[in-house]
Amino acid sequence: MLNMTQLLSGTYPMLHATSQLDAIWWDDPTLTNYSQDILRLLSQKVGVSVIRDTTSITLVQGQATYNAPVDFLDTIHIYLNGLILRPASTQQLERLDPNYQITQASSNNPIKYWYADKIGPNKIGTYPVSDASNAGFTLEIIFHAFLGCTLTPTSQIVTPVAIQDFLQFALLGRAYNDESDSRMLDVSAVSIRLANIYEHLLDVYYGDAQ
Amino acid sequence: MSTSVPWFIQFQSPIAPNPSVKGSVVGGSITDLPPVSLLGLFTFPTLPWLASWHNYVTTQPNPDVKAPPFSFPVGSVMPFSTLQWLAVWQSYVITQRPLDIKAPPFSTSYPQQQPSIPALVASGAPPSAIALPPDISLIANLLRQPAIAPFSVIPTPPPPVTDTCILLVGDLITRILKRLDDDGTYYTPNQVLYALNIAQRLWCFMTLELEKTVTFNILANVAYYKFSSQVSDLIIPLKVTYTNFTTNVQTRLRATTLHQLNMLGPWSQTIVDVNTPTPKRYAFNGSDLLAIFPQVTSSDVVQLTYAAFPPTLIGPGDSLAVTDENVDPLIDGTIYILRLPEGQAELAHVEENFSRFLMAAQKRATYMRNKMKSQNYDMLPSDFDFYDKSWSTGAALTPVTNQTPGQQGGGGGGQKR
């Protein structure tokens, strides 16, 4: 569990303060913003958060593309009625069917592919497009998600506690690197390198999602 | 001897920590040959060894009947099913009973030993002691005890061994503050406790030293689960097994990936069929997502063995979750974390502490890796032999420019089976 209250209360003494009241250069919103940035970067590098979503995308007849789920980073697998859809590119689909964004599915041509390129960020498309028989079904998506996009100073996120410890050191590394009279580059460097140990382990244990 | 007086057998090993094995032997009759029934009840103190008792029975007028060997894990009481089996021997003669106590091959602390204990001869007067071969020096004492009814009373297990090396959190904080030359003013006990928790968690994260086995509930027609819904301290799963209580067969679920499961077709909608009523595979994705194939048709459980984070230390009476020999590296790690914000010379002075912590963690991880390989676990601790640790010394004196977490660090191989 990542507990921001606990994290911040443990961070201020390491910033030579007792709380944000006497931490001249930092406060809760600043450290929380730093934490958001760090966690977003971690999510992209390690892929620690893998989520299965079965409610965000409901097929609509004739609709080619859909919005990806909240905090979507990248897709691992997409299923329709338990069957996996194959990833494809728009270039492949254009060669397969010039009207790939219009052609509706049929019994002879069921929905088989998904694509995400050239349709904007956080969008997922299917080929063929849903017909009436598929309308109403939801896509099952397993995807990498961002961590901590809506982090607040009191957030609690269900995640291994090692991420809180990683965040502790990465936060120190970021805070002591601020352009200010409190800048301590040696502490920042060592803190970041401690955080790298956690990042390495997080990658080893959680980074191989397939 | 009257039939109401049972015998008490005690065995003591000469090998430290000199465990004793004792059991109450209740016999319908010892001197009346053959006795009607004989029960053996053994409790073993907690030790890393497995004992197997080979019992040879001579029945009359039938030829020798060799009892099948059975074994019981450490700390357990011989199951009643075995006792019942023993009880049906109609012609049990306590003669020529070699008892073999063998340590398992993987127990390096307790090498193989195969004594041949001379016969426990039941005669008119029970012997007070039996001479044993010097190689094992097990001492069997036949003592009279008050009558114990068969199957009704389980002897009290021996008291647990007191760990005199254990250091409680209060002791650790005192020692750490002493090493920091502080009386709790600059580094408050709460700060020390906070750093100690981080150090212990990092230790367990690097070494995967703390293992737990719990039951994990699986539901009918459900393929995906979140570990966090039932287990709050999971690092990684090491082994998942399923026990079919109908057939009393335990099977191991094979670790796989979602990609491999996809090749089986609509696997997430496949349920267990009556011919093969067990889940067979599991996939672990990210830090929380678990998939089990195939689904079960009614709620059931699997046994999950996993590497765990240690419980958070809260008060001075708490104790560490790591083994005693790893307390000193933890103290070193805690001191390093506490001194980290000081920078410059004070940080440079404790670089050696963190080097010791890393080296000890590396050594422990190597031990755990070998142990887990022998147990064929699905995941192993990362191998820090290949991790660039050159930064851990002298880094405090190296000026750096703006850096972002994750944009540095050496390579290093983790291992996934």
Query: What's chain A look like in SS3?
Result: CEEHHHHHHHHHHHCCCCCCCCCCCCCHHHHHHHHHHHHHHHHHHHCCCEEEECCCCECCCCCCEEECCCCEEEEEEEEECCEECEECCHHHHHHHCCCCCCCECCCCCCCCEEECCCCCCCEEEEECECCCCCCCCEEEEEEEECCCCCCCCCCEECCCHHHHHHHHHHHHHHHCCCCCCCCCHHHHHHHHHHHHHHHHHHHHHHCCCC
Residue pointed to by tokens 């699986």: B218
Closest chain A C-alpha to B236 CA, distance in angstroms: 7
pLDDT in tens, B226-240: 999 999 999 999 999
In this complex, do B287 and A190 lie within 8 Å of one another by their Cβ atoms?
A: no
Given a cut of 50, whether residue B69 has pLDDT beyond it is no
Given a cut of 70, whether residue B115 has pLDDT beyond it is no
Predicted pLDDT at A115: 95
Q: How confident is the model at residue B386 (pLDDT cuts 50, 70, 90)?
A: low
Interface test with B, best of A52, A79, A144 (most B CBs within 10 A): A52
In this complex, do A52 and B224 lie within 8 Å of one another by their Cβ atoms?
A: yes
Given a cut of 90, whether residue B388 has pLDDT beyond it is no
Given a cut of 60, whether residue B341 has pLDDT beyond it is yes
Beta bridge partners of A129: A104
Predicted pLDDT at B160: 66
In this complex, do A82 and B266 lie within 8 Å of one another by their Cβ atoms?
A: yes
Segment B134-142 shows an average pLDDT of 35
pLDDT in tens, B363-372: 999 999 999 9
Q: How confident is the model at residue B384 (pLDDT cuts 50, 70, 90)?
A: confident
Q: Which residues contact B169 (CB under 8 A, 6 or more apart)?
A: B193, B196, B313, B315, B316, B317, B318, B319, B320
Least confident of A190-204, B52-66, B157-171, B395-409: B52-66
Predicted pLDDT at B220: 85
Predicted pLDDT at B275: 66
Nearest beta carbon to residue A204 from set B228, B409, B414? B414
In this complex, do B201 and A162 lie within 8 Å of one another by their Cβ atoms?
A: yes
Q: Taking CA atoms, what residue in B is nearest to A176?
A: B341
Chain B residues inside the 8 Å CB shell of A159? 287-288
Predicted pLDDT at B209: 92
Predicted pLDDT at B248: 81
Single-letter amino acid code for the residue at B393:
T
Predicted pLDDT at A76: 93
Nearest beta carbon to residue A189 from set B201, B400, B416? B400
In this complex, do A165 and B259 lie within 8 Å of one another by their Cβ atoms?
A: no
* A54 and A81 Cβ atoms separated by less than 8 Å: no
Using a CB–CB cutoff of 8 Å, tell me whether A170 touches chain B: yes
Predicted pLDDT at A148: 81
Q: Taking CA atoms, what residue in A is nearest to B340?
A: A187
* B264 and B270 Cβ atoms separated by less than 8 Å: yes
* ipTM higher than threshold 0.85: yes
Chain A residues inside the 8 Å CB shell of B414? 200-201, 203-205
Predicted pLDDT at B19: 52
Q: Which two tokens stand for residue A26?
A: 């930092």
Predicted pLDDT at A209: 61
Closest chain A C-alpha to B233 CA, distance in angstroms: 7
Closest chain A C-alpha to B208 CA, distance in angstroms: 11
Using a CB–CB cutoff of 8 Å, tell me whether A110 touches chain B: no
Using a CB–CB cutoff of 8 Å, tell me whether A80 touches chain B: no
Closest chain A C-alpha to B215 CA, distance in angstroms: 20
Predicted pLDDT at B70: 35
Nearest beta carbon to residue B409 from set A16, A190, A193? A193
Given a cut of 60, whether residue A13 has pLDDT beyond it is yes
- Determine what percent of chain A is predicted with pLDDT higher than 70: 99
Given a cut of 90, whether residue B199 has pLDDT beyond it is yes
In this complex, do A10 and B194 lie within 8 Å of one another by their Cβ atoms?
A: yes
Closest chain B C-alpha to A192 CA, distance in angstroms: 6
Nearest beta carbon to residue B398 from set A45, A189, A209? A189
- Phi/psi at B335 (5° precision): -60, -40
- Determine what percent of chain B is predicted with pLDDT higher than 90: 30
Q: Which residue has the higher pLDDT, A155 or B72?
A: A155
On the 0-12 / 13-18 / 19+ scale of CB atoms within 10 A, B40 is middle
Least confident of A177-181, B63-67, B368-372, B404-408: B63-67
Entry pTM: 0.69
pLDDT in tens, B272-309: 666 666 888 999 998 999 999 888 888 888 999 999 99
Segment A160-170 shows an average pLDDT of 93
Q: Taking CA atoms, what residue in A is nearest to B396?
A: A186
pLDDT in tens, B83-109: 322 322 222 223 333 333 333 333 333
Nearest beta carbon to residue A201 from set B347, B382, B391? B382
Segment B210-226 shows an average pLDDT of 91
Chain B residues inside the 8 Å CB shell of A13? 188, 191, 194
* B198 and B356 Cβ atoms separated by less than 8 Å: no
Using a CB–CB cutoff of 8 Å, tell me whether A54 touches chain B: no
pLDDT in tens, B122-133: 334 444 444 444
pLDDT in tens, B299-333: 888 999 999 999 999 988 888 888 888 899 999 99
- Determine what percent of chain B is predicted with pLDDT higher than 70: 51
CB contacts < 8 A, A to B, total 172
Single-letter amino acid code for the residue at A179:
E
Mean pLDDT of the residues in chain A: 91
pLDDT in tens, A28-60: 999 999 999 999 999 988 888 999 999 999 999
Predicted pLDDT at A111: 94
Chain A residues inside the 8 Å CB shell of B188? 13
